[in-house]
Chain A
Amino acid sequence: MPTKPAGTLYRGREGQWSWVGHRITGVVIFFFLLVHVLDTSLVRVSPEAYTAVIGAYKNPLMGLGEAGLVAAIVFHAYNGLRIIAVDFWKNGPKYQRQLLWGVLGLWVITMVPFLIRHLSIVFSPITGGH
């Protein structure tokens, strides 16, 4: 018998994958906040140390990381509103799929101008990494 995977992944639809996306972005944001609280609290230890740490973020790799972080936060925020609508708006469950397309549409609308502005700063030779 040919080797095949151990059981299949459940083939859920939009609802399942938006839930997976919400979970993943939630965990990503949690880890960012952890680091964010630590580096910001450094300012109380010593402003020089804070400046040094924040300065270390000014490179293209972190710039791309920031783009990813904003992408995660924007999705999590809009999809969070969708989940509230599903739970509390009478027609939410009926239109959950359309709401998700709305979320993704808004996500694109938000991300395109942000990425143009952000990445042009990150990769500009003059401001070089911010």
Chain B
Amino acid sequence: MTAELAEPASKIELPASAGGGGEIPTFNITLRVRRYNPEISDEATWEDFELTMYGTDRVLDALHKVKWDHDGSLSFRRSCAHGVCGSDAMRINGRNRLACKTLLKDLDTKKPILVEPIKGLPVEKDLIVDMEPFFQSYREIMPFLINKGHEPTKERLQSAEERERFDDTTKCILCAACTSSCPVFWTDGQYFGPAAIVNAHRFIFDSRDDAGDMRLEILNDKEGVWRCRTTFNCSEACPRGIQVTKAISEVKQAILTRRI
């Protein structure tokens, strides 16, 4: 544990006399976390933690510090800690972000840093939400290649232009930052949500896939793309920079014109 803790801080722990060549500035922050434990209370409450953090630290490092040094009961998901696995989406200062991609120094450290679970999905404990409704929508759009032709003996070829059409939507890591930033999804949990539409887009516009029509039919549902009110919260929240609202608009147009 100490080895893990020391990792970002190792250069700092040296005595000052050792020289400040690689010194990283430190600062104090107040981390204000939305705590919820159904075994104790049905009410969620805020809890403050005073921490000394380093210029290289991210919100995830602050959460680790709390969990490892202050209060081991703090619960949150994280896996790779490098913005690839999509486990640690949470609301940081009121906006959906990945804790592992948000540097503390980029936030206003004079004020408390607010950390809450993502909205619209049932909270299980602290920052952990039930992702099942989210993955249910994801499964419904059939996020896999469907090809009616014969199994090819070599790879399925595709031109650079054909690939370019859905390049943006291949980047999704299923962190749910987009879906849980959507005001429509907060009030209507039946809505497919941006992430499912993004992943449908990834196959609808793939020249190797033959089930585009089927997916368009699924998304033409009243809980499908037409629920989108173009608030752009999803595009702004996406940690991979996917132009989510644009992808949804492309699906809307494909449904209207029946042309992919």
Task: Determine the residue in chain A with the shortest Cβ distance to B236.
Answer: A13
Are A8 and B94 in touch, CB under 8 angstroms? yes
Are B95 and A1 in touch, CB under 8 angstroms? no
Q: Which one of B42-50, B66-74, B198-206, B213-221 contacts A?
A: B42-50
Q: Does residue B76 face the partner (Cβ distance < 8 Å to A)? A: no
Residue with the greatest number of chain B CB neighbours at <10 A, chosen from A1, A14, A92, A93:
A93
Q: Which one of B12-20, B127-135, B225-233 contacts A?
A: B225-233
Contact partner, A19, options B46, B93, B229, Cβ 8 Å: B229
Are B236 and A12 in touch, CB under 8 angstroms? yes
Are A93 and B246 in touch, CB under 8 angstroms? yes
Are B48 and A10 in touch, CB under 8 angstroms? no
Once bound together, how far apart are the Cα atoms of A11 and B114, in whole Å?
A: 12
Q: Which one of A27-35, A62-70, A83-91 contacts B?
A: A83-91
Residue with the greatest number of chain B CB neighbours at <10 A, chosen from A6, A7, A94:
A7
Q: Does residue B169 face the partner (Cβ distance < 8 Å to A)? A: no
Nearest first, the 3 closest Cβ-Cβ pairs linking A and B are A15-B232, A11-B94, A93-B246
Contact partner, B230, options A4, A13, A86, Cβ 8 Å: A86
Are B181 and A10 in touch, CB under 8 angstroms? yes
Are A12 and B231 in touch, CB under 8 angstroms? yes
Are A12 and B45 in touch, CB under 8 angstroms? no
Minimum CB–CB distance from A55 to chain B (whole Å) comes to 41
Cross-chain pairs A/B with CB under 8 angstroms, 22 sampled: A6-B44, A7-B34, A7-B116, A8-B91, A10-B91, A10-B94, A10-B95, A10-B181, A11-B93, A12-B95, A13-B236, A15-B232, A15-B233, A16-B183, A16-B233, A87-B230, A87-B249, A87-B253, A88-B249, A93-B243, A94-B246, A96-B232
Minimum CB–CB distance from A90 to chain B (whole Å) comes to 9
Are B249 and A8 in touch, CB under 8 angstroms? no
Once bound together, how far apart are the Cα atoms of A18 and B34, in whole Å?
A: 28
Once bound together, how far apart are the Cα atoms of A18 and B181, in whole Å?
A: 15
Report A43-71 residues with CB < 8 Å from chain B CB.
none
Are A19 and B231 in touch, CB under 8 angstroms? yes
Report B91-125 residues with CB < 8 Å from chain A CB.
91, 93-95, 114, 116, 119
Once bound together, how far apart are the Cα atoms of A12 and B229, in whole Å?
A: 13
Once bound together, how far apart are the Cα atoms of A95 and B256, in whole Å?
A: 22
Contact partner, A16, options B32, B34, B48, B231, Cβ 8 Å: B231
Contact partner, B232, options A7, A8, A10, A16, Cβ 8 Å: A16
Once bound together, how far apart are the Cα atoms of A35 and B175, in whole Å?
A: 47
Report B13-57 residues with CB < 8 Å from chain A CB.
32, 34, 44-48
Once bound together, how far apart are the Cα atoms of A18 and B229, in whole Å?
A: 10
- Which residues of A sit under 8 angstroms from B235, Cβ to Cβ? 15, 93
